């Protein structure tokens, strides 16, 4: 392990890390607000624009078309050019497109702007977890990254509250709701100006002086607050590589050592994202289809979305106790059982109870995947690995709302949530059979023991000994 990595690993979890958690988490929160608010807009804009069931499903998937592009490209760009700049520009793109979408008058323009905004949010989502996890030591990294993902739950609850209180405010209530989701992002952008680039990434690119300066500034902040840091252990050599082309970076993901991990993360993200957005995008509309008023549907949705909060943060705690793999599989099993029950219930109260359980468990899985995925890829391709997995997951987010538009009129609740159960079980099987343990291991230890052979020599690589 290099000296830079050793110095980051010895840092006690403190104010610096909580600041990173809040700045990164707010990005996830606003991503979730934007993804979830469409569920509360659809019951209003569907009759306004005379949309069919399939057109409604396509519009529900609009953001995720952009997510796919943003996540796929941002990871590779982040590995080549650095994490911080990609994260900042992604948020700018989202904020502008979301604001403009509040003023359109047909669903085609609305669809196009949500796709553009989705590119920004997809890039943001793909960068935050691998970026900020590189600042955190092994003993807190799992709970940190899972808690980071936990801000999604605050976003869904915020969207539900906006849907409940703002959308009903007259004919333009849906427009006010969109503006309410976009404007606070400006404050997050302003605050994030102070975020450092990842020292681990800088070091992997041979930019040792910059990495040293950043770590020294972080250590100085701890010293000013009277925190005495332990001595730095002896460090090893660092192999630095020049920036590879995007094609070379993607190729590494399919090298013999990484192929299994790439397949596992793709299946995990595809199954979880498919089921999450199937459920959370359509549940207000499905409740209306069952005969509820829009007001009652939205009030039920708030309770369902509130269950996300304990789901995320309980999984963040469990991640450090039993490991990421067992956490993901356990919560997936709970989500599958809840979906199976939801396929058979009859009364509104039963629907609400099972929906709350499904919300709890499926978001525990989300927390686990966000903690796990950045750990199982080496630094050189970490953002690319997370980005491609996230992009594959967005295929599930795109397809699931559209499939519901086809399946619900034919098979009803049973068909929709029977499908959810099967997809969740497939994801759990992939993690069980293809995953690797990461609990209590530094990123460098995981890389050296699992993937050294995967990082094929790159022309121009050099060894640096700290």
Judging by DSSP bridges, how do beta strands 462-465 and 237-240 pair with one another?
antiparallel
CATH code for position 334 = 1.20.1250.20
**In contact, 405 and 282? CB cutoff 8 Å:** no
The answer to whether the CB of 403 falls within 8 A of the CB of 275 is no
> What are 464's strand-pairing partners?
238
Q: How far apart, in whole angstroms, are the C-alpha atoms of residue 89 and residue 95?
A: 10
The answer to whether residues 313 and 147 touch, using CB atoms and an 8 Å cutoff, is yes
How crowded is residue 171: how many other Cβ atoms within 10 Å of its Cβ? 8
Q: How far is CA 37 from CA 77, 182, 258, in A?
A: 29, 11, 37
Integer Cα distance of 388 and 323 in angstroms: 23
- The two structure tokens encoding residue 16: 């610096």
The model's pLDDT over 426-449, given as tens digits with 9 standing for 90+, comes to: 999 999 999 999 998 989 888 888
| Alpha helices, DSSP H, located in 373-465 | 382-434, 443-446
Residues of the chain with pLDDT under 70: 1, 234-246, 281-282, 284-286, 289-290, 293-295, 413, 452-466
C-alpha atoms less than 13 angstroms from C-alpha of 42 in its C-beta half-sphere: 32
Beta-bridge partners for 462: 240
Count of structural domains within the chain: 1
Query: What pLDDT does residue 294 have?
Result: 62
Distance of alpha carbon 271 from alpha carbon 6, whole angstroms: 36
Cβ proximity of 365 and 25 under 8 Å: no
Query: What are the residues facing 239 on neighbouring strands?
Result: 463
DSSP class per residue in 316-348: HHHHHHH-HHHHHHHHHHHHHHHHHHHTT--SH
What's the rounded Cα separation, in Å, for the pair 256 and 455? Answer: 10
**Residues 357-377 pLDDT 10s:** 999 999 999 999 999 999 999
Joined together, the tokens standing for residue 385 give: 């690995």
Number of helices followed by number of strands (H, E) in the chain? 19, 2
Enter the DSSP assignment of 437.
-
The two tokens of residue 241 are 């590589």
Sign of CA dihedral 311, 372, 184, 104: negative
| C-alpha to C-alpha distance for 44 and 376, rounded to whole angstroms | 43
- CA neighbor of 31 nearest in space, from 185, 222, 233, 205: 185
**In Å, what is the CA distance from 449 to each residue of 380, 442, 454?**
15, 11, 11
Cα distance between residue 212 and residue 5, in whole Å: 10
CA 459 from chain centre, in angstroms, equals 34
pLDDT of residue 460: 43
* Paired residues of 315 in beta bridges: none
- In tens, the pLDDT along 300-353 reads 878 888 898 999 999 999 999 999 999 999 999 999 898 888 778 777 788 888
Residue 80, Ramachandran bin (φ over 0: left; ψ between -120 and 50: alpha; else beta): alpha
pLDDT of residue 462: 44
Q: Is 92 helix (H, G, I), strand (E, B) or coil?
A: helix
pTM of this prediction exceeds 0.85: no
Q: How many CB atoms lie within 10 A of CB 455?
A: 19
Q: Which two tokens stand for residue 280?
A: 């959370």
Residue 367 buriedness (CB in 10 A; 0-12 / 13-18 / 19+):
buried
Coil, strand or helix: which one is 190? helix
The range of the structural domain enclosing residue 348 comes to: 3-465
């Amino acid at each position: 392990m290099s000296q830079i990595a050793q110095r980051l690993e010895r840092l006690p979890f403190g104010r610096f890390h909580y600041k990173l958690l809040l700045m990164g988490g707010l990005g996830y929160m606003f991503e979730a607000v934007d993804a979830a608010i469409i569920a509360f807009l659809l019951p209003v804009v569907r009759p306004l624009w005379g949309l069919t069931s399939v057109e409604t499903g396509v519009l529900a998937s609009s953001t995720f078309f952009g997510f796919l592009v943003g996540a796929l490209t941002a990871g590779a760009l982040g590995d080549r050019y650095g994490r911080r700049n990609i994260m900042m520009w992604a948020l700018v793109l989202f904020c502008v497109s979301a604001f403009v979408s509040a003023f359109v008058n047909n669903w085609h323009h609305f669809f196009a702007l949500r796709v553009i905004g989705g590119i920004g949010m997809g890039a943001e989502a793909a960068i935050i977890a691998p970026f900020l996890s590189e600042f955190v030591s092994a003993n807190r990294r799992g709970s940190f990254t899972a808690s980071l993902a936990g801000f999604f739950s605050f976003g869904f609850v915020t969207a539900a509250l906006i849907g409940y209180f703002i959308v009903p405010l007259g004919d333009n209530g849906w427009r006010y709701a969109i503006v309410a989701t976009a404007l606070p992002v400006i404050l997050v952008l302003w605050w994030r100006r102070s975020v450092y680039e990842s020292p681990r990434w800088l070091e992997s690119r041979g930019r040792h002086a910059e990495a040293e300066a950043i770590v020294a500034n972080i250590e100085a902040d701890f010293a000013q607050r009277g925190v005495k840091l332990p001595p730095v252990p002896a460090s090893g050599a660092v192999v630095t590589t020049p920036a590879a082309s995007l094609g070379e970076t993607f190729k590494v993901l399919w090298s013999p050592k990484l192929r299994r991990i790439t397949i596992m993360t793709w299946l995990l993200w595809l199954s979880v994202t498919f089921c999450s957005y199937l459920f959370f995008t359509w549940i207000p509309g499905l409740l209306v289809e069952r005969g509820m008023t829009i007001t009652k549907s939205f009030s039920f949705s708030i309770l369902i979305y509130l269950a996300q909060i304990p789901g995320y943060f309980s999984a963040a705690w469990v991640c450090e106790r039993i490991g990421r793999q067992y956490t993901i599989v356990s919560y997936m099993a709970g989500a599958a059982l809840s979906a199976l029950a939801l396929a058979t219930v009859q009364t509104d109260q039963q629907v609400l109870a099972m929906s709350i359980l499904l919300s709890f468990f499926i978001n525990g899985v989300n927390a686990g995947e966000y903690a796990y995925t950045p750990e199982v890829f080496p630094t050189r391709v970490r953002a690319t690995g997370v980005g491609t997995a996230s992009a594959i997951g967005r295929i599930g987010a795109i397809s699931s709302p559209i499939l519901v538009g086809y399946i619900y009129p034919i098979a009803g609740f049973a068909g929709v949530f029977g499908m959810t159960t099967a997809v969740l079980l497939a994801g759990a099987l992939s993690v069980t059979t293809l995953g690797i343990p990461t609990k209590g291991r530094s990123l460098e230890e995981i890389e050296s023991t699992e993937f050294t052979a995967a990082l094929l020599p790159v022309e121009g690589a050099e060894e640096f000994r700290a």
